[in-house]
Homo-oligomer: A and B are copies of this chain.
């Protein structure tokens, strides 16, 4: 079977580099196009990332030689790739939306990591284990915009992926979650490069991450929501409060979670059983990047830990631990996932795999 040719927008940034690292030897996808800002355009990728390649694996020769395109010049992308990963790290959301739309308009689907389109009412925000049925919106999106084969699909913030699937697994079994307190200890790589200055985090932690608490409190409501009247309607009845902290850890976002259930409350053993047995569509379809067991419960009293658990199932599994009664709500636990794999490039690849398998990318 011939591999599907893919492009990466924002290829020189940290997320773009992670896509390049993770797509090496992908069974379905093959990188054929790399685009970045004007500064990098027309250089080889090797030149463009000189002194900025942050991955712990060397750059492959065939990637080094690719001539970087200008993201704004779509003519270079057409015919070169069947779809693109959008890995922009710039802060101008309006600009990102414009570029992503332009690719979609030109029949190039966009699988995006950027936050620009997360609130767009006809753009699906996917966690394939939770809301694959949200893909139904794509036809509406195409119709709304007058697009033919192109569309935009996004993934949510990296931080909430550390725990939301574990919470969803319980909801899916009929245990309504009414309130959720979250405190996070988030890794440095979540801030991109150069990101956090070392003087700000050596012998220190930071009690603030710009915009992160808002995303953590709002995005789950769309993910858990449903399509009504041709647009997404937020999930009702779940209140979320998040404290987000930065800690001196390279990769892996850890969260402390407390849950209040509705009237029907699961016992601890039942919860562990639900997590252990949880499988969803990506597992059933046996997608290449799908973790075999999406939720791993580690019974040691001091786990999960970022350095020791982030790489579980190639960084795509969520690890939970310390399930215990909560003095105020019902239960509490700690949860962790790899923010640049599950929470970013790996999650984007899984989204793309689902889109291919479901026939949205042809």
Residue ranges of A at the interface with B (Cβ–Cβ < 8 Å): 51, 54-58, 179, 181, 183, 185, 188-189, 193-208, 217, 239-241, 243, 245, 247-250, 254, 256, 258, 300-309, 311-312, 321-322, 326-329, 332, 334
Contact = CB atoms under 8 A, between A and B. Distances in A.
Contacts of A328: 179, 181, 239-241
A318 B211 CA distance: 26
A291 to B, nearest CB: 13
A307 B203 contact: yes
A306 B241 contact: no
A309 to B, nearest CB: 8
Contacts of A196: 197-199
A55 B247 CA distance: 20
B250 A203 contact: yes
A256 B250 contact: no
Contacts of A248: 198, 202-203, 247-248
Given A185-B185, A195-B197, A240-B327, A247 B250 contact: no
A207 B334 contact: yes
A197 B199 contact: no
A250 B199 contact: yes
Contacts of A198: 188, 195-198, 200-202, 248
Contacts of A309: 56
A300 B207 contact: no
B199 A195 contact: yes
A243 B183 contact: yes
A332 B241 contact: yes
A299 to B, nearest CB: 10
A307 B250 contact: yes
A166 to B, nearest CB: 14
Most buried by B among A207, A239, A256, A301: A207
A321 B207 CA distance: 9
A334 B202 contact: no
Contacts of A203: 202-203, 248-250, 306-307
A215 B211 CA distance: 33
B54 A181 contact: no
Contacts of A189: 199
A315 to B, nearest CB: 11
B250 A208 contact: no
Contacts of A241: 258, 326-329, 332
B199 A193 contact: yes
Contacts of A301: 208
